[in-house]
Amino acid sequence: MLALLDQWNAQLAKHPRLAGGLLFLVAFAVYQKTLAGLFVFDDIPQIVENPFITNPHLWPRIFQGSVWSFRGPEEHDNFYRPLQFVVYWLLDRLAGPRPAVFHFFHLLFYAATVWLVFRLGRELLRNHLAACVGALLWALHPLHVEPVCWLSALPDVGSGYFYIWAFLLFLRAEKAENHRAARHGLAALAYFPALFFKEMALSFPLLLLAYGFFFPSDEPRARRAGRWALYLVPVAVYAIVRIVALGRLSEAPRFWQISWRMLAGAVGLLGQHAKLFFWPTHLSPYRTFELGASLRSPWPWLTLVALLAMCWLRRREPVFSFLVAWWAVTLVPCLDTRQIASLSVGDRFSYLPSVGLCLAGALAVLRWLPRRLPRLEPAAVVTPGLGVIMCLWAVQDLRVSPQWHDNVTTWNYSLRASPDSPLVHLFQGALLENRDANFDGAAREYEVALRLNQASFRPAPGITYDCYLGLGRIALHHGRLEEGIRYYDQAVRVAPSHSPAYRALGAAYFPRGDYAKAASYFVQAVKFNPQDVEARFFLGTCWLKLGKPREAAAQFHAAREVDPTYDQAFEAEARALEAAGDRAEAARVRSLKSKP
């Protein structure tokens, strides 16, 4: 068996480009059905309803705020990922909001990353067969269904690509005999985009420290540290840009203060991610995390023991130990429970970390095990077993990926996979309300979501907010105005700087003819979200009703500036200008509406 493996390795060594091309095609073939998928979950607000994407003139704002800043400057979150939206903006300019184009680019990015994993494996493992199998394991791992099928996971795919490319260049720079500093500078440059795709890339300097621990050098430490310091330059630039854009480095209060509860949460999350890697079932984008249950599980403790064992084995098996450490180190940003918006054990969090374990598994089965136990020929059993695992994973990929086709399919699947997730019940409530007009059923789902969220490890204010909005809409639908207003007021208390509850309150008073009261709420709505064209249109209408045509024209004008296709805003502004006596300007505005 050992001789046969050596023959395969020799053949692959002769045709690395062919092997890489085949891996690219396999990755593309397994997920080609995603090309028929629609926009789901966060794709819709972040792409279709995002004025920074749909309006070609608002692109500079992509760099001026967080992921959800298009909903208003008061929309605080911890994510600064401008390259995600730059890609969306470019694709929207290329083909408009066509999901097939977005999915095609996304899949190309993923397949290209599989090819990079193969190249990384060749550099680290020094075995072409193990590198090829490791990359194939990574390409087929079921945890990647979510990041490949969900366009909103572009930060993981984009960051992962540049992260792996940068580390590959780092390895080559370390092994080069000359121009090492220049080569490291090139690697640092490749690392730079990874930071602006996703914050997980901040683990890169930690990974370099792990590399130094598992691969010590006789070279003077000062010289080595001097070269590696180049990788702190992108981190420093990213930190400065982030602070300028967001006004802070982190949304978490007392960022540097670490509590025992946070450490316990990190250990529990580490175990859950290990379990998902080795037993990838019940896949769901909104799998919940329960601290007590996770710590009672053997997974976190077995994982800690395994990581300690890797430290002990570092001199005997440095490559294998380092690859296992890769998984833990790259997972570090996802273990801080303060930084995760809605505390779920997302499959996408394992996208980059799983590179290490897949390559380590291939190395163990195809190189370490046959050489350590040649007489027992364990590879004759284990190697076919590896093939069976890959086949099972491919079947799992093909079975689960269609569940991401559209919102309804994904919501129904998520409800079966994660029945205890408050987010899933929130989405189910929205589905019953908007698609089925089952308002009583929707109200029950919103109440379940509220209860589950309150009982969770860390209740998410956004879920509570959206549930109150849903319950308020249902109360108004049944004619219970005061009850609906109470729910909206509760939403305001949960998130006083969010726009939708103010808009809903304004819309509740508007039909009653109380335009002054409605206007006071619409003013708050546009204050907290200047891009809210609906609130601006309502506010403009209120000002017209209250005899303030100039103020009304300003609101209609602001609405059409955000959305140049909003024809009603052009006409409303013209009418407001006529009411103010400015017929010439009204005619000019009407002429603009007819322009393409």
Place of tokens 């364990």: 378
Query: Residue 551 sits in which domain range?
Result: 510-596
Q: What is the pLDDT along the chain (596 residues), one digit of tens a residue?
A: 566 777 777 888 888 899 999 999 999 999 999 999 999 989 999 999 999 999 999 999 999 999 999 988 777 778 999 999 999 999 999 999 999 999 999 999 999 999 999 999 999 998 999 999 999 999 999 999 999 999 999 999 999 999 999 999 999 999 888 878 899 999 999 999 999 999 999 999 999 999 999 999 888 878 888 889 999 999 999 999 999 999 888 776 565 667 777 888 889 999 999 999 999 988 888 888 888 888 999 999 999 999 999 999 998 999 999 999 999 999 998 888 776 655 568 899 999 999 999 999 999 988 877 776 666 554 566 677 788 899 999 999 999 999 999 998 998 888 888 888 898 999 999 999 999 999 999 999 999 999 999 988 788 889 999 999 999 999 999 999 999 999 999 999 999 999 999 999 999 999 999 999 999 999 999 999 999 999 999 999 999 999 999 999 999 999 999 999 899 999 999 999 999 999 999 999 998 875 54
* 269 and 369 fall within a common domain: yes
* 468 and 580 fall within a common domain: no
* 40 and 140 fall within a common domain: yes
Tell me if 4 is assigned to some domain.
Answer: no
Tell me if 321 is assigned to some domain.
Answer: yes
* 478 and 518 fall within a common domain: no
At residue 256, the pLDDT reads 64
Among 358, 373, 404, residue at a domain's last position: 404
Tell me if 411 is assigned to some domain.
Answer: no
CA dihedral sign, ordered 157, 161, 167, 171: positive
Tell me if 95 is assigned to some domain.
Answer: yes
CA dihedral sign, ordered 45, 46, 49, 52: positive
Tell me if 360 is assigned to some domain.
Answer: yes
pTM, whole model, 2 decimals? 0.92
Among 497, 521, 544, residue at a domain's last position: 497
Quick check: helix, strand or coil at residue 456?
coil
Among 342, 369, 404, residue at a domain's last position: 404
* 158 and 96 fall within a common domain: yes
The tokens for 551 are 């103020």
In single-letter form, the type of residue at position 199 comes to E
Domain harbouring 534, CATH code: 1.25.40.10
* 472 and 551 fall within a common domain: no
Tell me if 394 is assigned to some domain.
Answer: yes
Tell me if 112 is assigned to some domain.
Answer: yes
At residue 255, the pLDDT reads 59
At residue 580, the pLDDT reads 95
Number of structural domains the chain divides into: 3
* 429 and 315 fall within a common domain: no
**C-alpha pair distances (Å), 202 with each of 117, 163, 170, 190, 198:** 19, 10, 16, 14, 9
* 318 and 365 fall within a common domain: yes
Tell me if 409 is assigned to some domain.
Answer: no
* 543 and 592 fall within a common domain: yes
Q: Among 495, 501, 422, which residue's Cα sits nearest to residue 459?
A: 422
* 344 and 379 fall within a common domain: yes
* 476 and 384 fall within a common domain: no
* 141 and 40 fall within a common domain: yes
At residue 82, the pLDDT reads 97
At residue 218, the pLDDT reads 80
**Rounded to the nearest 5 degrees, what angle is found at the Cα of 461, between the Cα atoms of 459 and 467?**
100
Q: Among 161, 155, 189, 192, which residue's Cα sits nearest to residue 66?
A: 155
